[in-house]
């Protein structure tokens, strides 16, 4: 990276300027990862700000964010690179008169015919880059092998071209919702960071920072209600992003103080299963 962090507090202050409220634990791991040149494996429940952390670090550094969205069936051609076969075929047809296959071979297996995908693009970039490998737990364990060379050596081996080494070391974030256990080899190459749901005071601060026009009293009510709902036995607890959606909904409806009925009427913004909504509505009736 073009800019090195000087302290954990500098990271925390920088993230706050781009509206990401990091505690000292989060800021400390980001600081160490950059100074040590290590990737960060960020685990935690969905919607707790794992992906946003990578985006915010990129914004703070003025770096380009390159994102690889992982999914079942992701392979080398979508993650690393593939050859432009149509263009290669046209080149071969144009060189039919050539007597030397080696000349044609060297020509078609050159940078001109290479289609870079996110991992190779991040390695090849001459500008500062933050590489986000999102939801890495969605890929098969065999696919993780694609990542190991990049995460340990910051290089990519292409049989036809040789080894391409990073011109600058990108900051790398891997996120996981912990839907499956990742390999020891992958974990060993990364610093580990767990991001859980924020405590009530921090969630209130997040709401105040992210939601325009909200009052401190309403933000406090929202944080308290969400905290009580998360303590229930739910299929899916409300994420921070859903807390923010709920706050914006209340502002849009002109609500500046939440009563039990208003909370029940808008629970579908926070919760996405009817059984969870019913449990939360019952809890709100008892509380109120």
Interatomic CA distance for residues 54 and 67, integer angstroms? 10
Task: Using DSSP, state whether 149 is helix, strand or coil.
Answer: helix
Interatomic CA distance for residues 206 and 15, integer angstroms? 12
- Look over the chain and give the mean of its residue pLDDT values, rounded to a whole number: 89
Report the range of poorest mean pLDDT among 4-13, 37-46, 75-84, 93-102.
93-102
Q: How many CA atoms lie within 13 A of 221 on its CB side?
A: 20
- Whether 241 contacts 279, CB under 8 Å: no
Q: Return all residues near 159 (Cβ < 8 A) that are at least 6 apart.
A: none
- Whether 211 contacts 170, CB under 8 Å: no
44 phi/psi in degrees, rounded to 5: 150, 170
* Band of residue 288 on the pLDDT scale cut at 50, 70, 90: very low
SS3 per residue for 205-216: HHHHHHCCCCCH
Give the number of residues written for the chain.
288
The string of pLDDT tens digits covering residues 174-202 is 999 988 889 999 999 999 999 999 999 99
User: Closest by alpha carbon to 33, among 177, 145, 150, 130?
Assistant: 130
Interatomic CA distance for residues 7 and 207, integer angstroms? 27
Query: Taking the model in full, what pTM does it have?
Result: 0.84
pLDDT score of 104 more than 70: no
The string of pLDDT tens digits covering residues 120-155 is 999 989 999 999 999 999 998 878 888 888 888 888
């Amino acid at each position: 990276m073009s800019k090195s962090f000087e302290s954990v507090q500098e990271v925390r202050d920088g993230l706050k300027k781009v509206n990401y409220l990091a505690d000292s634990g989060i800021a400390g791991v980001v600081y160490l990862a950059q100074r040590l040149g290590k990737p960060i494996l960020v685990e935690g429940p969905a919607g707790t700000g794992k992906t946003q952390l990578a985006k915010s670090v990129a914004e703070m550094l003025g770096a380009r964010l390159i994102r690889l969205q992982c999914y079942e069936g992701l392979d080398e051609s979508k993650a690393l690179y593939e050859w432009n076969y149509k263009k290669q075929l046209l080149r071969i047809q144009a060189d039919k008169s050539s007597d030397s296959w080696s000349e044609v071979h060297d020509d078609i297996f050159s940078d001109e015919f290479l289609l870079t995908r996110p991992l190779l693009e991040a390695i090849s970039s001459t500008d500062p880059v933050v590489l986000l490998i999102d939801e890495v737990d969605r890929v098969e364990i065999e696919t993780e092998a694609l990542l190991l060379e990049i995460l340990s050596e910051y290089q990519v081996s292409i049989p036809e071209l040789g080894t391409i080494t990073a011109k600058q070391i990108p900051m790398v974030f891997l996120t996981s919702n912990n839907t499956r256990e990742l390999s020891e080899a992958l974990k060993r190459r990364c610093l580990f960071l767990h991001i859980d749901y924020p405590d009530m005071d921090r969630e209130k601060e997040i709401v105040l920072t992210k939601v325009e026009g909200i009052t401190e009293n309403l933000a406090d009510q929202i944080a308290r209600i969400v905290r009580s709902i998360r303590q229930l036995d739910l299929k899916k607890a409300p994420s921070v992003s859903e807390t923010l959606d709920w706050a914006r909904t209340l502002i849009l409806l002109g609500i500046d103080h939440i009563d039990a009925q208003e909370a029940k009427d808008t629970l579908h913004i926070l919760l996405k299963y009817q059984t969870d909504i019913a449990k939360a509505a019952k809890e709100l009736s008892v509380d109120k």
